[in-house]
Every structure is written in structure tokens, then in C-alpha cells.
Amino acid sequence: MSSVHAQQRNPLQKIGQTVLDEPAQSYRFERFVIDSADHSRRWRVNVGVPVAPGKVPAPALYMLDGNAAAMVLDQAMLGELAAKAAPVLVFIGYDNDLRVDSAARTQDYTAWIDVADDESGKTVSSGGGAFQFLDMIERQIKPEVEKRARIDPQQQSLWGHSLGGLFVLSTLYTRPAAFQHYIAASPSLWWSQGAPQRDMEKQFIDNRRGQPAQLTVMLGGDERSGNRGVRDMTNPRVVAHLRRIGGATPDAAWQLSQRLGELPGLQVGYREFPGLGHGPMLPASLKATLSQLYGIADRSASPTAADRAAD
């Protein structure tokens, strides 16, 4: 694989076989599908329940980009999770075979409408569906998960990467009691010309009343330094994307962690991953999250073949 292609994600990459398709060992997986109200898209939710559940309600980790997240885990990680905190694992993806459904996640994960030029130079509007998506998680996905496993309502975490990390932040800003721990990995603070750093964040800071919550912000070292690696500047899609992400400085996520860390009742942690760019941060941040929350070995510095294929 050339260095050019190594830096650019394939938007049509398929999920392939994952732990979701393998015989149950330490975890068994159940699946359900939810339709959007207008039937324009379908969410596929896979729920991982320990084969030998504990005697007390379990913590739960809700993961966005569920198809991609499932590609990160293997049986060794599941076995260690089951032996430690035995969390319930909830993969919220789309009902197709794509690793990442770019169009659907752009709509669902963003609370702001973005107006920008696409690769053909045409001005397009996208996004703005985050509140409806959060309603669906709260009113449909969580109750369905709780039919399948005993969840501790005071130990629920939400992880998301990129636009998913942006959704994590907008959820914290608007419904801080929905989860107890929020993990925003490489959040796309450039979205809508940097609106996430102005509007909702400011309202959250101004109206903060001390609702307890934890936030962990994760960022790749290459992201913070602005090193975007080798890019094919003859590709109009790449050029259009680089133009859009100029809406925030490379260290915006670090700056955000510093601002929010001053708020009462909000515990904020920041972790940087040396040498990692945006794409590799998806598997690295999820592995780090599983280690941080549930005490398993931190495998974030050990990319697997599947991780490298997903970059």
C-alpha cells in the first residue's frame, strides 16, 4: 500500500467478519434493528452480554460507529473484559455492511448544520440530526438494551470518534445526565466553521449547575501538531475536506479540555497519543477507553492487522 493511500480512508470499506459473527465464548451478542421515522435509514444495534453475568447490575458502554467499533475487539479483549468489570457492550451502527456510513453518521452525529463546498465546488448543507438521534438512543435503544441485560443506570458511558466525538460533546452539553462518562475521541470541532466551540459550548459553560459527569478528551499527537501526513491533493474529495477542517485549530480539542476542566462538578481528563493521526485514533481511543473504564490491558499502542486495514 502506498503512503498516499495509507493516509486516506476508503469510504466504501466493508466490515467483514468480527467478534459479532463468532461463536460465543466470554460474550454472547444479540442484535436488533430500529427504523428512522421516515424510513430513510436503519440502525443496527449489537448488544454484548457476558456469558456469565455478575450478580449486580453491569456498567454499559455505548459505542457510536458500531460497525467500525466491532472490528476493534477480539476474543482476548472480550475475555479480559468479562473477567474484570464485565460491562455490557452496545454497538450502535447502521444496518449495512459498511465499516463507516459517512452520509448517515454526518446527519445523526451533528447538532449543527454545516454549509460547505463539496468536491465539485457545489455548496451543500448537511447535518443537524443529533437531537433526534439522541432521542432515539434514550427512548428506543436504551430500553431495548435493558430488556437484554441488567444495566447499572449510574455506570453508563458513551464513546465516539471524529463526528462521533462531536456527538458525545453535544450530548454532554444538552443532557449531561444521559451518561456518567463521556469519551470524545478526536472530536470534529471544525464542523460548521467551528460552531461547536461557540454556541452550545458557551451555553453549557454559562448555564452549568454542577450536574456530576466525567469527560475524557482524546487526541492524536499528529492531529494536535497539524501533521496530516501524505495526502493526494489531486483528489477533489481530499481537497474539499482539508478546506472544511480549517474551521478549528489543530489543538482545539486540547484547548476545549482546558476550558471545561474549570467547571464545577465536571471531571475532565485529556490524553494524547503520540504519532497518531485522525484515522488510527478510532481503534486506539476505543482500546484506551476499555482499559480506562474497565481495567483491562491498554492495547492502544499495539495496532492489529484489522486496525491498519481500517485506517
- Give the per-residue pLDDT at 37: 82
Q: What is the pLDDT of residue 4?
A: 33
108-129 per-position pLDDT tens digit: 999 988 876 556 666 677 789 9
pLDDT of residue 234: 59
Give the confidence band of 6 by pLDDT, cuts at 50, 70, 90: very low
pLDDT of residue 118: 58
- What does the pLDDT read at residue 2? 33
pLDDT of the residue at 258 = 95
Global pTM? 0.90
Does 54 have pLDDT greater than 80? Answer: yes
Tens digit of each residue's pLDDT (9 = 90 or more) over 250-268: 899 999 999 999 998 899 9
Instruction: Name the packing angle between helices 163-174 and 199-207 (round to 10°).
Output: 30
CATH code of the domain containing 303: 3.40.50.1820
Give the contacts of 2 (CB within 8 A, at least 6 positions apart). Answer: none
C-alpha 225/C-alpha 249 separation (Å) is 10
Dist CA 6 CA 161 (whole Å): 19
CA distance to 98, 221, 222, 261, 278, per residue, from 272 (Å)? 28, 6, 9, 16, 12
- Which is more confidently placed, 232 or 249? 249
- Which domain, by its residues, includes 68? 3-310
Question: What average pLDDT does the segment 155-161 reach?
Answer: 98
**The pLDDT value given to residue 83:** 96
Residue 236, pLDDT above cutoff 60: no
- Determine the Cα–Cα distance for residues 214 and 89; give it in Å rounded to an integer: 19
- Taking residues 19-33, report their average pLDDT: 97
Give me the chain's average pLDDT, please. Answer: 88
% pLDDT > 90, the chain? 68
Residue 208: predicted pLDDT? 77
Q: Return the active site residues.
A: 162, 223, 278
Residue 5 has pLDDT above 50, yes or no: no
pLDDT tens-digit series, residues 182-225: 999 999 999 988 877 777 888 898 887 777 899 999 999 999 87
Identify the H or E element spanning 181: strand 181-185
**In contact, 86 and 55? CB cutoff 8 Å:** no
Q: What is the pLDDT of residues 66-96, one digit of tens each?
A: 999 999 999 999 999 999 999 999 999 999 9
Based on the structure, what is the number of domains in the chain? 1
**Residue 239 pLDDT:** 46
